[in-house]
Structure 1
């Protein structure tokens, strides 16, 4: 046999035998042959030497694979494998982006920096295993292929270690030594145990450990013989981490070691659904287990509900007992983490008197026998007084009704209340599981399970029951600690707010408070701006007495300013006392006034600025004429003008007199609407518990009302509207009188025709003409008065119209 070799330097063909090709090269013999052999033999020797050099130095393009055990920075450290893995549905980087990262040198060196003409050909992402295969090519001869692969993987691993600080997620790279089985089977998920089946000769444990150890820590390796001719020999390898098992499977599957081929699979342990299938398919157990499944489901849901209910109880008790520590820690550390936040400025003076503070403290020291009510207008310092007295005290609980009452339904109200008492997250789960348990119980048993929150008419009552139980345990623990004189305190703020006077929440809170006070579990302090709370508490809880602390503004507000100035040795600026007396004890306006004074504004100028702003608010709220505002406004301009005109001259108006005036016609709906908007306030006359009076919504409005009523143009406009209203009213009355007179004339004519005969029986029924005549005379008298008033109003309208035009012309000059 011969081989034909094409010489690279000449076009001639040299034919060599197999023995000549396989001969050993000897330089001495070749030197001698150079002189004694013929020319043809010399060419044969030269071609043979060229062939050896060509075979030793020829490099071919080879293929290889790398496996990266993490490719997405969204998946950090060792992933958790579950049958339902939502991470599969989270979109990660695409193969094109990963190719760009790999070629740009972000993870591994660039292709120019890699040896052996390294080039990346493609990327195959394995989302289920959180890894990816990188296909590459390189150039190497057949004798240096393994060495070239070792150099490539060494360079890649070194680069990943150097960039460990840059890549904030952990990633490792391994060389694929076998032929990986890339599958996407739905029921196969990565686990930490591998099943390695052998095809071929036997493999020792030492050999397995040698090839499996580089991918991670191994717990154990167990070899099993072939149980039958259909099941081959296999080994079970238990890794510490799932990530290590994934790398070993993808890198070693299909590899041949000592004549044995590795087939590697994930060995899934026995799962619960397999046990479930075994029970369902069992001929005996299925007849017992299937009917019990609904009952077991109900029992599990109810058990979870009661467990969550107990967790809510623990949260509420912790909130009552230790919330004051959180508040103290927050006050002490808030300044450490708020470098750029301004510290709260000191109040200019206390908004409550010492007598009020001492009175409230004495009530709280006594055993809880009565309700405590703090009554006063909005922004009069009620909540500030309670916070000042209870600051730093343990076993206190605050319930803010204004946040609860704005909820849309009962469940939202219950969740808001649970949030305030400290069990919001757990109680939301209680409601969900209780609804599910009631639904299942109703379908399986036929009736609901009593005691669950869903069986209660209002879940707010369930939260209040939790609070009551927590207060009972708290009070009981205080008795064991010999602290019987210290009672928990429950503050119900914004109770019976004016725009929600009739609400189911008030009844639930009254019952809850009555049980607390009756059982001497806690003091209950109601904070309200509604004067009707006293009658409301008396009607809902007639057996309970009420201790009332009225926080209406003092008669002499300036005394507080003088007291503060004496305590702080401060010189009071000129005009400050008069301005403060006009503002009163309204905290919001007083705070704005203090801010203006501290900014360098004079007291008179600051007061004028506040009056101007308040005046604009009154115009905007009470006298706006746009369509949306008129549609939602519950009073007319002239109705509020009537009250404004009276309050500009007097400090207060009697409620019943205003209500019975012609503009209101015994309808107090507009008056209540004005109170809700803050324009006026309805209170009780001092030292009179049955007489209601109407005052300005806040002290500053008293001055605002006086300025508005002194506006000649606006006053003329309102008088014009009032006269028009009265004229319309009189015209309607005249129309009614005329209609009734017309009916009486018709009745009188029919009476004459029917009873004109001598058998009229007037002696039995009386004379109808006399009754009609009396009514006609009365109607004519009223008609005459209405015509006179209508004429007067019409004349007034004409005069006001002329005056309005004159004022406009005068102002326009």
Structure 2
């Protein structure tokens, strides 16, 4: 309780108020009264009603302490709501000349927008006071008004008259038409600081001693309510915890409105009182405090990461699907339809038709006529499959350089409007997961793709898992991202298939699946090139592509054509479509007559060369040379064979002036050098298809001796029996650590393209050279005495090792038999068998060493 509480009584609007707490009353109640002083920096002139000082002096006090001091019979009012609080942070550092304010106040032309005019209107003429100083406070949105009053009139009565006047006739500023100005008597010692502290609705009330020798008393919430309720509605009063060690003691008073908190601080800062039952007085020190709002939702989120993190991950995934997937489907769609390519525009096609006779194209269209004529049956077969609703794969298989891509793209799908080509080679050769994802996205037109975010999300997921113990799921592995790209591509392909559908069609009532099944000609074509390129290293990628292709054909979304050079394509494709028979197209080498026609077609001059000849410039190949080349081709075309890539190399050599015999000889020598480097004298090339081209590496799936055995035997005859090779000592008993079984070694050499295996009814029957030109290269290598001697020496050395191993086995078994305590008669036959085998092996070793001696002599003599 406050001393003299009988002096408090409730008011109709502001609740309990201190109407009788004048400076004289404070003395009577034992309260401390602030010391008085003269006006800051000036001498009072009694004949002038209004006078003030500049901001620099008046706002900081005569002693630069920032306090306002009042003389006897002088008091201070605080007028609120004169300036907008929203602009206080902007106008805080603006200098203010109070002398100029009073001059405008005395002017008769003051407008209603001037805050000084509002102050003048708030002070009725009936009040017997004289204003001596005005100190504006932009930060608080009001002003301090110092005035003198008659000694016979209590200052509390003046406050009551002013409050009743404003209640009766409210004065509302232009910027706040809903709240009028308020005016209250300053009971404490106001502190006019110019710090950058903006007003808040919470006041921190600190209890400090009024005298240094007396400890302050902490006020109760009832006392604080009685003191501050008169200034506005109080939301809450929070006392300091009893066990708190913070000094000085304090309490929080939360006002509903910021303006009410400003009024309370301006009037009560420095107020001194003594509560009943206490011996010492307490001074109130008020300051604005930022209210810390309770963040219940955020606290719950941070306290339950096991629940929140999966929800956030699901939300992000849903957001990505909702926002980015339609964009990505759009880009895949235009990539398949080639909508943005100028060559597919109607304008370009019209110009091409109109100027086809005037424009000269470097490449003429008859280059592959001979090739396509030779393979017309295969082209018609693929065409028919694309027109039928057969839910299976079309597999175009052939050795490297057999022209499978040219056949499919330049003839079968030349007029097809929607074709998607997925080249597996750049995908499987991509560096790391991010590179693989980026290459796959580029192949199908999938964009935007954020492959770089995978590493960041993986680190974030690992950090969250380490702190919470729960995997957030932000990161996706390579498999899931490949599946996502392929699923988006499938959705875009289905839209492409249904683009030509109209509402007035006769089958408009059919469902999408039924429509696609009834119209196979409207489905786009997906060409998967270089299938099983480095299949052993990237098996997962090919598995996902096969499953995706199977889903496309089973759902009637698209036709799928596989282009592969690998003979083991049946295994992954059969796993994807176990109940279907593939439409297989096998490409072989061209016959000599077709190969000759193809080379001749390459030598025919195009329109540009004809124009150069007409202009006096000689083309690369004259007509006379061309006729001579045609005659020589009959003699050497058989040695080159019918492999398309080799024929193209021959044609290029002929165009630069080489004769057919010289060109074929160079091609054969180059192939022999390639075989020698890759299979006989080269490094460790592994069980992959890149061995023949210098790509890849690793442990061998075959030995050098096995490769030379096939080269030597194929040089003598064009084909070998498959089982005959399996039973040979070089394949059946190889001692090379990197070589596998005989079947695995042959398969590795087939994948390396040194040889090919011909099958009948799925059973391997014969072994031939990998390319026709290899047959001549094998003969060239065998004719080289040094190469033959060196390779035969290695083969004989391995055969000798095989016989030594047989002798070791026989000797080991004989040692076991000799260790028996009594020699039974039953082991005599076994002993004789082992001795005969040991003798035969020894005789073979002697023969091998004799032959090896002759080979070493050749190596020593030959250069």
- TM-score with structure 2 length normalisation? 0.53
Pair 1:587–1:738, CA change in 2 (3 A): same
| Structure 1, unpaired ranges of 5+ | 1-192, 204-222, 235-277, 336-341, 753-768
Q: Does residue 390 of structure 2 align to residue 375 of structure 1?
A: no
* Distance in 1 between residues matched to 2:838 and 2:450, nearest whole Å: 69
Q: Does residue 732 of structure 2 align to residue 675 of structure 1?
A: no
Mapping of residues 585-596 of structure 1, within 5 Å: 585-596=642-653
Mapping of residues 148-167 of structure 1, within 5 Å: none
Pick from 288, 300, 320 the counterpart of residue 297 of structure 2: 288
* Distance in 2 between residues matched to 1:623 and 1:494, nearest whole Å: 27
Q: Is the contact made by 1:301 and 1:437 (CA closer than 8 Å) also made in structure 2?
A: no
Mapping of residues 129-208 of structure 1, within 5 Å: 197=94
Mapping of residues 248-397 of structure 1, within 5 Å: 286-292=295-301, 295=308, 301-306=316-321, 307-322=323-338, 325=341, 328=344, 343=362, 348-350=367-369, 351-352=371-372, 353-388=375-410, 389-391=412-414, 393-397=416-420
* Distance in 2 between residues matched to 1:613 and 1:514, nearest whole Å: 42
Give the deviation of 1:376 after TM superposition: 0.1
The DSSP-based 3-state class of the residue aligned with 1:458 is: helix
Q: Is the contact made by 2:596 and 2:637 (CA closer than 8 Å) also made in structure 1?
A: no
Pick from 414, 423, 434 the counterpart of residue 446 of structure 2: 423
Q: Is the contact made by 2:367 and 2:598 (CA closer than 8 Å) also made in structure 1?
A: no
* Distance in 2 between residues matched to 1:465 and 1:233, nearest whole Å: 63
Q: Does residue 701 of structure 2 align to residue 643 of structure 1?
A: no
Pick from 762, 778, 793 the counterpart of residue 833 of structure 2: 778
Pair 1:721–1:683, CA change in 2 (3 A): closer
* Distance in 2 between residues matched to 1:676 and 1:233, nearest whole Å: 87
The DSSP-based 3-state class of the residue aligned with 1:454 is: coil
Q: Which residue of 2 aligns with 1:800?
A: 855
Which has the larger Rg? 2
* Distance in 2 between residues matched to 1:322 and 1:626, nearest whole Å: 44
Q: Does residue 527 of structure 2 align to residue 526 of structure 1?
A: no
More divergent stretch after superposition (291-300 vs 691-700): 291-300
Q: Which residue of 2 aligns with 1:231?
A: 138
Pair 1:453–1:541, CA change in 2 (3 A): farther
* Distance in 1 between residues matched to 2:598 and 2:139, nearest whole Å: 101
Q: Which residue of 1 aligns with 2:843?
A: 788
Q: Is the contact made by 1:198 and 1:232 (CA closer than 8 Å) also made in structure 2?
A: no
Residues 672-708 of structure 1: per-residue CA shift (max 9 Å, x gap): 4433443x133434x5432254332322111111111
Give the deviation of 1:526 after TM superposition: 0.8
Q: Is the contact made by 1:645 and 1:705 (CA closer than 8 Å) also made in structure 2?
A: yes
Residues 759-778 of structure 1: per-residue CA shift (max 9 Å, x gap): xxxxxxxxxx1332121111
Residues 443-466 of structure 1: per-residue CA shift (max 9 Å, x gap): 99997789x883895321111111
Give the deviation of 1:557 after TM superposition: 4.7
Pair 1:723–1:434, CA change in 2 (3 A): closer
Pick from 636, 653, 663 the counterpart of residue 579 of structure 1: 636
* Distance in 2 between residues matched to 1:627 and 1:443, nearest whole Å: 43
Pick from 719, 725, 736 the counterpart of residue 658 of structure 1: 725
* Distance in 2 between residues matched to 1:413 and 1:620, nearest whole Å: 31
Q: Is the contact made by 1:557 and 1:581 (CA closer than 8 Å) also made in structure 2?
A: no
* Distance in 2 between residues matched to 1:636 and 1:370, nearest whole Å: 39
Q: Which residue of 2 aligns with 1:614?
A: 671
Q: Does residue 533 of structure 2 align to residue 497 of structure 1?
A: yes
The DSSP-based 3-state class of the residue aligned with 1:425 is: coil
More divergent stretch after superposition (520-529 vs 504-513): 504-513
Pair 1:549–1:634, CA change in 2 (3 A): closer
Residues 263-287 of structure 1: per-residue CA shift (max 9 Å, x gap): xxxxxxxxxxxxxxx9x97655522
Pair 1:496–1:660, CA change in 2 (3 A): farther
Q: Is the contact made by 1:324 and 1:394 (CA closer than 8 Å) also made in structure 2?
A: no
Pair 1:421–1:486, CA change in 2 (3 A): same
Q: Is the contact made by 2:313 and 2:472 (CA closer than 8 Å) also made in structure 1?
A: no
More divergent stretch after superposition (696-705 vs 584-593): 584-593
* Distance in 2 between residues matched to 1:745 and 1:435, nearest whole Å: 66
* Distance in 2 between residues matched to 1:435 and 1:677, nearest whole Å: 38
Q: Which residue of 2 aligns with 1:399?
A: 422
* Distance in 2 between residues matched to 1:733 and 1:330, nearest whole Å: 77
* Distance in 1 between residues matched to 2:347 and 2:715, nearest whole Å: 45
* Distance in 2 between residues matched to 1:588 and 1:195, nearest whole Å: 84
Pair 1:568–1:406, CA change in 2 (3 A): closer
Pick from 582, 589, 614 the counterpart of residue 546 of structure 1: 582
Pair 1:726–1:619, CA change in 2 (3 A): same
Residues 310-340 of structure 1: per-residue CA shift (max 9 Å, x gap): 332332233223358456479979x9xxxxx
* Distance in 1 between residues matched to 2:394 and 2:562, nearest whole Å: 6
Q: Which residue of 1 aligns with 2:524?
A: 488
The DSSP-based 3-state class of the residue aligned with 2:421 is: strand
* Distance in 2 between residues matched to 1:281 and 1:560, nearest whole Å: 93
Provide the alpha-carbon RMSD of the alignment. 4.5
* Distance in 1 between residues matched to 2:380 and 2:828, nearest whole Å: 72
The DSSP-based 3-state class of the residue aligned with 2:476 is: helix
* Distance in 2 between residues matched to 1:461 and 1:605, nearest whole Å: 52
The DSSP-based 3-state class of the residue aligned with 2:328 is: helix
* Distance in 2 between residues matched to 1:784 and 1:369, nearest whole Å: 63
Q: Which residue of 2 aligns with 1:190?
A: none
Q: Is the contact made by 1:321 and 1:396 (CA closer than 8 Å) also made in structure 2?
A: yes
The number of residues matched between the two structures is 528
Pair 1:601–1:783, CA change in 2 (3 A): same
Q: Is the contact made by 2:423 and 2:528 (CA closer than 8 Å) also made in structure 1?
A: yes
Give the deviation of 1:625 after TM superposition: 6.2
Pair 1:610–1:287, CA change in 2 (3 A): same
Pick from 401, 409, 413 the counterpart of residue 436 of structure 2: 413
- TM-score with structure 1 length normalisation? 0.56
Q: Which residue of 1 aligns with 2:767?
A: 694
Pair 1:409–1:434, CA change in 2 (3 A): same
Pair 1:230–1:530, CA change in 2 (3 A): same
Q: Does residue 547 of structure 2 align to residue 511 of structure 1?
A: yes
Pair 1:302–1:518, CA change in 2 (3 A): closer
Pick from 758, 766, 786 the counterpart of residue 684 of structure 1: 758
Give the deviation of 1:414 after TM superposition: 3.1
The DSSP-based 3-state class of the residue aligned with 1:478 is: coil
* Distance in 2 between residues matched to 1:202 and 1:310, nearest whole Å: 69
Give the deviation of 1:732 after TM superposition: 2.5
More divergent stretch after superposition (496-505 vs 470-479): 496-505
* Distance in 2 between residues matched to 1:225 and 1:345, nearest whole Å: 91
* Distance in 1 between residues matched to 2:682 and 2:462, nearest whole Å: 53
Residues 584-627 of structure 1: per-residue CA shift (max 9 Å, x gap): 34333222211111112111111112222222222221222679
Residues 418-444 of structure 1: per-residue CA shift (max 9 Å, x gap): 221112433537857976997899899
Q: Is the contact made by 2:599 and 2:651 (CA closer than 8 Å) also made in structure 1?
A: no
Q: Is the contact made by 1:298 and 1:440 (CA closer than 8 Å) also made in structure 2?
A: no
Give the deviation of 1:507 after TM superposition: 2.2
Mapping of residues 45-194 of structure 1, within 5 Å: none
Give the deviation of 1:519 after TM superposition: 1.3
Pick from 638, 660, 664 the counterpart of residue 603 of structure 1: 660
The DSSP-based 3-state class of the residue aligned with 1:373 is: strand
* Distance in 2 between residues matched to 1:512 and 1:282, nearest whole Å: 59
Q: Which residue of 1 aligns with 2:783?
A: 710
Pair 1:438–1:305, CA change in 2 (3 A): farther
Q: Is the contact made by 1:302 and 1:437 (CA closer than 8 Å) also made in structure 2?
A: no
Give the deviation of 1:529 after TM superposition: 0.8
Residues 379-425 of structure 1: per-residue CA shift (max 9 Å, x gap): 11111112112235332211111222234555543332122111243
Q: Is the contact made by 1:198 and 1:233 (CA closer than 8 Å) also made in structure 2?
A: no
* Distance in 2 between residues matched to 1:667 and 1:677, nearest whole Å: 15
